[in-house]
Amino acid sequence: MDKLTATTAFFALSQQTRLDIFRMLVQSGEPGRHAGEIADTLEIRQNTLSNNLNILLNAGLVNRVREGRHIRYTANTETTGELLSFLLEGCCQSRPEICFPLIERSSRRTEAPMAQDTYNVLFLCTGNSARSLMAEAIMNREGMGKFRAFSAGSLPSPDGPHPYAVELLKNLNHNTSEIRTKDWAEFASEGAPKLDFVFTVCDKAAAEVCPVWPGQPMSAHWGVPDPVAAQGNEAEKRLAFADAYRMLRNRISIFTNLPLETLDKFSLQRQLDQIGQTRELGVDI
């Protein structure tokens, strides 16, 4: 990569909204995001999004694919890799102490995970009042001791767990005695459980800046429609919670059956991203 191309790319990432867009697309992996999803998640206007996407496109950091009436955007991994190489090569020749930890960390990500008796999994959402709590309960039961689940929120609901979520979990014989909303800072503090996996289950949490997690866990976005935002009568609102539960249970079932001991981390990451694209609700509850 030449200096002009690198300068153009760095300029494109120097503005906060463009950096948020780019981070979101990198986290979304191969599936990417449609323009409407990006605008809704980052709460920006369509014309603002269009202007910033054009700058990222011109810098070669983003690709777009038209799908009918929609346009899907993905991060350009080739250009991103070249940009990182340009930066690292310039630094590593004279300051190897800066680059060595990054190189060592990257090499570890190509290895197969160590076989463990128990894997710790954290589910994140903004309010931690419904989806992430349901995912925590499902994983703790479906994981059958192999997975230990937790949940938290970036802005935990001051009203605590949503009553419909608690009611649904009780009706399905989940243990709700210790269910509570929690701030995700609890899991980034000293003494917190070492996390192996972190999954965001709502779009806003995926777009926000996450704390630095102990143990560098693998992560993926498993977005599920927000049942708390459902409109209609009481029956329709409860149905939204049941649908969210079934979608989460389906994804968690796929995840818990993965051969974690044999997959290298690149292959496992692809599997985790693909699970997040699973739209089937799963079996009735």
Q: Each residue of 225-239: pLDDT tens digit?
A: 899 989 999 999 999
Residue type, 264: D
Tokens of 238: 């409860």
Q: For residue range 108-149, list pLDDT tens digits in order.
A: 555 555 567 899 999 999 899 999 999 999 999 998 889 999
Cα–Cα dist 151/55, whole Å: 37
210 given a catalytic annotation:
yes
pLDDT over 70 percentage in the chain = 83
Q: Within a 10 A sphere around the Cβ of 232, how many other Cβ atoms?
A: 10
Mean pLDDT of all residues in the chain? 85
3.40.30.10, 1.10.10.10, 1.10.510.10, 1.10.3720.10: CATH of 1-109: 1.10.10.10
Per-position DSSP letters for 101-156, written without gaps between them: HHHHHHHHHTSPPPP-S-EEEEEEESS-SSHHHHHHHHHHHHTTTSEEEEEEESS-
Of 263, 267, 246, which Cα lies nearest the Cα of 142?
Answer: 246
pLDDT surpasses 70 at 92: no
CATH class of 119-275: alpha beta
> Which comes out higher in pLDDT, residue 183 or 205?
183
Q: Are strands 70-75 and 33-34 parallel, antiparallel or unpaired?
A: antiparallel
Q: For residue range 210-259, list pLDDT tens digits in order.
A: 655 666 788 888 888 899 989 999 999 999 999 999 999 999 999 999 99
Q: Within a 10 A sphere around the Cβ of 144, how many other Cβ atoms?
A: 8
Beta bridge partners of 66: 71
Cα–Cα dist 120/50, whole Å: 39
Q: For residue range 13-26, list pLDDT tens digits in order.
A: 999 999 999 988 88
Residue extent(s) of CATH 1.10.10.10 domains in the chain: 1-109
Q: For residue range 260-272, list pLDDT tens digits in order.
A: 888 888 888 889 9
Residue extent(s) of CATH 3.40.50.2300 domains in the chain: 119-275
99 given a catalytic annotation:
no
pLDDT over 90 percentage in the chain = 46
- Cβ-Cβ contacts under 8 Å for 104 (sequence gap 6 or more): none
Cα–Cα dist 202/222, whole Å: 7
Give pLDDT, residue 107. 54
> Which comes out higher in pLDDT, residue 111 or 165?
165
